[in-house]
């Protein structure tokens, strides 16, 4: 079993900010837009270095999505920044018509996704955004797990031609993926090799999956852990190959089980390799105020829940 450690915790949104700043230096076509959340999205460095390529839209997310679509006409690569809730549900029709259906090269970058937004509560904690975005034809959906991966993904999506939804979060979480990683859209990353159960996780749940693996190992259970940073297009082969070996799977995400990663995995399995599956996800509910750790505990989105579901799914084999 591989050992994963970390020396520091950092927020994934800072990874976005660092990636965007690097793009500002390397890609003159990259432009950024924000709807009054520059500090929260960590966009300051890009703005300081490229003021002429930054557009402060004000609190007007619908307008921001339309402007982003228009900026592509003439060769710009717009990155929009606001909370996940205001990046998706609030502007669904604008994204649908002006970006997705219009095939515009817009990168929708969404912070504060999920319960870990914390104390602001359910008005801001979207748990439906992956579903909303993955249903749009042609939309790539990415949910990164730590600072380094978020930075790498931010840089990678600039080179991809087409609309992308990049989802990340608010709290400081362990930095455990390599700083020099190459981010490949649609390519799952195997973090642990195992034979008894497959755990596929996305976003903040990837670290929790690694923690769960330690507990399972102590119980003599060998868990395979796969980091699914790209929910669409999904790496079907990585999932099928893994369950062919383990015979059961747990999916883990900071999202409603309806519309999330788990459902996408279930479809792949139903089509190609029917396999017992358990879901670590919210159960068709809104969130509430609390600290991120309290919320993840209450709604069953941590390593303890993954262990529980792993033990359960192994019995279903």
Partner 1 sequence: MSNENLKDLTTQVRRDILRMVHKVNSGHPGGSLGCAEFLVALYTNIMDRKEGFDMDGINEDLFFLSNGHISPVFYSVLAHSGYFPIEELNTFRLLNSRLQGHPTTHEGLPGVRIASGSLGQGLSVALGAAQTKKLNNDSSLIYTLHGDGELQEGQNWEAIMYASAKNIDNLIATIDLNGKQIDGATDDVLPMGSIKGKFEAFDWTVIEIENGNDIEAILDGMATAIAATGKGKPVCVLLKTMMGNGVDFMMHTHAWHGKAPNDEQLADALNQNPETLGDY
Binding positions for partner 1, 153-212, rule CB under 8 A:
none
Catalytic residues: 61
Q: Find the binder of partner 1 among 15, 17, 19, 66 (CB under 8 A).
A: 66
- The tokens 């604008």 sit on which residue? 94
Q: Which strands sit side by side in the sheet containing 230-232, from one edge to the other?
A: 54-56, 30-34, 77-83, 107-111, 164-167, 140-143, 230-232
* CA angle (292, 294, 295) in 5-degree steps: 65
The values of phi and psi at residue 236, to 5°, are -55, -45
Token pair in block for residue 130:
């992956």
Binding range to partner 1, per CB under 8 A, among 4-12, 47-55, 123-131, 290-298: 47-55
17 binding partner 1? (CB under 8 A): no
Q: Is 50 an interacting residue with respect to partner 1 (CB under 8 A)?
A: no
Q: Tokens in use for 195?
A: 């034979």
Binding of residue 103 to partner 1 (CB under 8 A): yes
Region from 62-70, 153-161, 163-171, 189-197 binding partner 1, contact rule CB under 8 A: 62-70
| Spatial separation of the C-alpha atoms in residues 187 and 34, rounded to whole Å | 29
Separation of alpha carbons 264 and 269, rounded Å: 9
Smallest distance, partner 1 to C-beta of residue 72, A: 8
Q: Does 70 sit near partner 1 (CB under 8 A)?
A: yes
Q: Which one among 1, 62, 215, 311 touches partner 1, defined by CB under 8 A?
A: 62
**49 touching partner 1, by CB under 8 A:** no
Q: Is 25 in the site for partner 1 (CB under 8 A)?
A: no
**Minimum distance, C-beta of residue 98 to partner 1, in the bound complex (Å):** 5
Q: How many CB atoms lie within 10 A of CB 215?
A: 16
Q: Identify the CA nearest to 166 among candidates 137, 182, 145, 192.
A: 145
Q: Does 295 bind partner 1 (CB under 8 A)?
A: no
Residues within the interface to partner 1 (CB under 8 A): 31, 52-53, 55, 57-58, 60, 62-76, 78, 93-94, 96-98, 101-104
């Amino acid at each position: 079993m591989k050992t994963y450690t970390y020396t520091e915790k950092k927020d994934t949104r800072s990874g976005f900010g660092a990636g965007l700043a690097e793009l500002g230096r390397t890609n003159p076509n990259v432009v950024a837009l924000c709807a009054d959340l520059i500090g929260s999205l960590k966009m300051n460095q890009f703005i300081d270095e490229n003021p002429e390529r930054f557009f402060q839209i004000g609190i007007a997310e619908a307008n921001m999505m339309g402007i982003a679509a228009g900026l592509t006409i003439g060769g710009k690569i717009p990155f929009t920044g606001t909370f996940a809730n205001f990046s998706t549900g609030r502007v669904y029709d604008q994204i649908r018509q002006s970006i997705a259906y219009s095939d515009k090269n817009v990168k929708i970058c969404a912070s504060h996704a999920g319960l870990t937004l914390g104390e602001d509560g359910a008005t801001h904690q979207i748990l439906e955004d992956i579903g909303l975005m993955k249903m749009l034809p042609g939309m790539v959906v990415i949910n990164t797990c730590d600072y380094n991966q978020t930075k790498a993904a931010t840089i990678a999506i600039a080179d991809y031609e087409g609309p992308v939804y990049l989802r990340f979060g608010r709290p400081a979480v362990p930095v455990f993926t390599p700083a020099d990683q190459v981010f490949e859209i649609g390519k799952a990353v195997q973090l642990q090799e195992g034979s008894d159960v497959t755990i596929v996780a996305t976003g903040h749940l990837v670290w929790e999956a690694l923690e769960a693996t330690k507990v399972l190992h102590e119980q003599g259970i060998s868990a395979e852990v796969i980091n699914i940073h790209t929910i669409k297009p999904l790496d079907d082969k990585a999932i099928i190959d893994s369950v062919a070996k383990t015979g059961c799977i747990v999916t883990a995400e900071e999202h409603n089980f309806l519309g999330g990663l788990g459902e996408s995995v279930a479809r792949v399995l139903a089509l190609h390799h029917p396999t017992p599956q358990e879901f670590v996800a919210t159960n068709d509910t809104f969130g509430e105020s609390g600290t991120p750790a309290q919320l993840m505990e209450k709604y069953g989105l941590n390593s303890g829940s993954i262990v529980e579901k792993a033990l359960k799914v192994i019995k279903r084999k």
